[in-house]
């Protein structure tokens, strides 16, 4: 295998040059840039064979740029790693809350993955993208009656999160001529992990899932309702996790509950270990690779099943961020500068918290480059500020960059997960466009919102129409 230089010019930071047939793709979640990223002869950044400056000229900015190769590579590494390391049946499902749109769903569906949806809107999107109901799992801690009705009508698997849902579904299953409803039960496992408190979901004090002390009561209830087709258990411990031990501990907890369910005449055929594998947002981040994570989880489940003398269940994992996070970048155009002597230098871009709310919400950190001058030496540390009327609208507090100028293309890396999906119209700013790039071709997958889009659902009462 030929050696390749992964250093960003004059910075010591890493990037991924064009992948050739002689190279095995690295694990996308361990990289800062999409796998097809390279610097061309014009000193401009290319992704998917497309020059980012030209993409901004054609589609405007801010602009989400999704690399299809990186997304497909992550899908295949998850799928193939489970086939390699797990001795039973497995299914990888995409946690679509990371980014749900028709094109993303279609690409992931074509790789054979299933879908974790958490709302009627996400369910509708996956269906419109052509996803088979057998590979859709409906999550959420407060599904509405209408959402439950839709899920039952569609025939997807429903992840039951609480007693209210369980009662509703039991009632629906007993209606005349009602077919059985396929369910799994989500349980809070009581496992802590080192991540932001807002994205820890496995500890006992969580809004998600049944309390472990209630689980036997839940099993007894389900046993009494024969039209509830109970197939398995689910737990999720959090997001952006670099540790492997919490997921290994989770295997033992789930298999223990699996054995308890058998005592109530409920053979568990499926275990869902959730997702949560982290990605590399900055140089110091060091997550395990996709294959390392899958191997650890698979071996832990197999060992737990062997210790409990139970057969291997179908094993489901539901990654989101580690599938799509690295595959996308966001391109901005640099605008105004402000220097505060002896304190700070601000550079403003034409987007911010409305297209990436994660820094102001989770104190998330990112890495940026100047895409139109990739070899320019890094000479300053600046604050990259958004354009919104909010002091906290800062994308990167301490960004190491070349000296920037008006019109430069500043690209923030690793923006595929939770950026578009959490975007807003704060300050009445339209959400950006998105393109997917592959082999030198760019295709629009989300149109840029116009001023008209911002008001098209507004309504004026009749008494306000006449002045």
Answer yes or no: are the C-beta atoms of 210 and 218 closer than 8 Å.
yes
Q: Is the dihedral of CA 256, 257, 260, 261 positive or negative?
A: negative
Q: What angle do CA 144, 315, 195 make, to 5 degrees?
A: 70
| Burial status of residue 289 (CB atoms within 10 A of its CB: 0-12, 13-18, 19 or more) | middle
**Residues in Cβ contact with 361 at an 8 Å cutoff, skipping those fewer than 6 apart:** 198, 422
Q: Is the dihedral of CA 269, 274, 280, 281 positive or negative?
A: positive
275's tokens: 């997702």
Residue 148: phi and psi, rounded to 5, are -65, -40
Instruction: Please provide the DSSP assignment of 209-265 as one string.
Output: SB-GGGHHHHHHHHHT-TTEEEEEEE---BSSB--SHHHHHHHHHHHHHHHHHHTTT
**Residues in Cβ contact with 284 at an 8 Å cutoff, skipping those fewer than 6 apart:** none
Answer yes or no: are the C-beta atoms of 125 and 154 closer than 8 Å.
no
Residue 318: phi and psi, rounded to 5, are -130, 70
| Burial status of residue 365 (CB atoms within 10 A of its CB: 0-12, 13-18, 19 or more) | middle
Q: Does residue 193 carry a catalytic annotation?
A: no
The CA distance from 184 to 311, in Å, is 18
Which is the catalytic residue, given 75, 105, 328, 389? 389
Answer yes or no: are the C-beta atoms of 238 and 206 closer than 8 Å.
no
Residue 116: phi and psi, rounded to 5, are -100, 115
Catalytic residues: 389
């Amino acid at each position: 295998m030929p050696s390749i230089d992964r250093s960003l010019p004059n910075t010591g930071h890493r990037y991924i040059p064009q992948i050739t047939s002689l190279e095995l793709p690295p694990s996308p979640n361990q990289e800062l840039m999409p796998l097809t990223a390279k610097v061309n002869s014009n000193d401009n950044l290319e992704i998917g064979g497309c020059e980012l400056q030209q993409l901004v000229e054609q589609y405007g900015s801010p602009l989400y740029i999704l690399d299809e190769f990186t997304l497909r590579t992550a899908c295949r590494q998850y799928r193939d790693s489970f086939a390699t390391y797990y001795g039973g049946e497995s299914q990888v499902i995409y946690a679509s809350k990371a980014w749900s749109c028709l094109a993303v769903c279609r690409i992931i569906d074509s790789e054979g993955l299933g879908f974790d949806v958490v709302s009627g809107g996400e369910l509708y999107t996956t269906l419109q993208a052509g996803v088979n109901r057998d590979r859709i799992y409906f999550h959420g801690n407060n599904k509405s009656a209408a959402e439950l009705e839709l899920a039952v009508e569609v025939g997807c698997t429903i992840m039951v999160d609480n007693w209210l849902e369980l009662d509703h579904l039991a009632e629906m299953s007993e209606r005349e001529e009602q077919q059985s409803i396929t369910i799994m039960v989500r349980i809070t496992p009581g496992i802590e992990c080192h991540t932001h408190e807002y994205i820890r979901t496995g500890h006992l004090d969580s809004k998600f899932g049944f309390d472990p002390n209630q689980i036997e009561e839940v099993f007894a209830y389900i046993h009494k309702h024969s039209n509830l087709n109970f197939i398995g258990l689910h737990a999720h411990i959090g997001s952006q996790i670099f540790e492997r031990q919490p997921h290994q501990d989770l295997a033992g907890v789930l298999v223990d509950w699996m054995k308890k369910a058998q005592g109530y005449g409920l053979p568990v055929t499926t275990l869902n270990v959730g997702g949560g594998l982290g990605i590399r947002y900055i140089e110091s981040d060091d997550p395990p690779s996709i294959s390392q994570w899958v191997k650890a989880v698979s071996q832990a489940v197999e060992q737990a099943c062997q210790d409990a003398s139970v057969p291997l269940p179908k094993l489901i994992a539901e990654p989101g961020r580690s599938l799509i996070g690295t595959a996308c970048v966001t391109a901005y155009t640099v605008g105004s500068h402000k220097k505060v002597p002896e304190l700070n230098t601000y550079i403003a871009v034409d987007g911010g918290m409305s297209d990436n709310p994660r820094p102001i919400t989770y104190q998330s950190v990112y890495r940026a480059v100047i895409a139109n001058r990739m070899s320019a030496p890094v000479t300053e540390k600046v604050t990259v500020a958004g354009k919104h009327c909010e002091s906290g609208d800062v994308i990167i507090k301490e960004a190491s960059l070349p000296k920037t100028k008006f019109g430069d293309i500043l690209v923030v890396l690793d923006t595929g997960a939770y950026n578009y999906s959490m975007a807003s119209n704060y300050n009445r700013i339209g959400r950006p466009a998105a393109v997917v790039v592959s082999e030198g071709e760019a295709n629009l997958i989300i149109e840029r919102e116009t001023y008209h889009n911002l008001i098209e659902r507004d309504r004026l009462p009749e008494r306000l129409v006449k002045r």
